[in-house]
């Protein structure tokens, strides 16, 4: 197993997991261990290491997970 992505946003981790599952990549969500066993992060793990490249490509193509693009803000004052 390989950790693919983690976030404090449970919904974001669930979205990435759903996208990977839809692409035929088995994965599971785990609570992060964190410092002294406490963490606010949720982790997404892919079950088969050989699916790593495909999982990365799905994230990049869809702009999700680690490949999520930052939201651009527009400055209307200038």
State the total domains in the chain: 1
CA separation for the pair 23, 11 (Å, rounded)? 18
* Residue 75 is assigned to a structural domain of this protein: no
Domain that holds residue 48: 2-67
Q: What is the CATH number of the domain that holds 46?
A: 3.30.70.1530
Q: What pLDDT is stored for residue 19 in this prediction?
A: 92
The residues, any chain, with a CB within 8 Å of residue 2's CB and separated by 6 or more, are 45, 46, 49, 52
pLDDT exceeds cutoff 80 at 70: no
The predicted model gives 27-35 an average pLDDT of 81
38 within some domain: yes
> Is the backbone of residue 44 left (phi > 0), alpha (psi -120 to 50) or beta?
beta
Contact at 8 Å (CB) between 66 and 16? no
């Amino acid at each position: 197993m390989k950790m693919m992505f983690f976030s404090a946003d449970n919904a974001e981790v669930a979205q990435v997991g759903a996208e990977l599952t839809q692409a035929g990549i088995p994965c599971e969500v785990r609570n992060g261990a964190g410092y002294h066993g406490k963490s606010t992060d949720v982790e997404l793990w892919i079950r088969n290491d050989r699916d790593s490249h495909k999982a990365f490509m799905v994230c990049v193509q869809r702009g999700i997970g680690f490949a999520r693009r930052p939201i651009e803000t527009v400055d209307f004052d200038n």
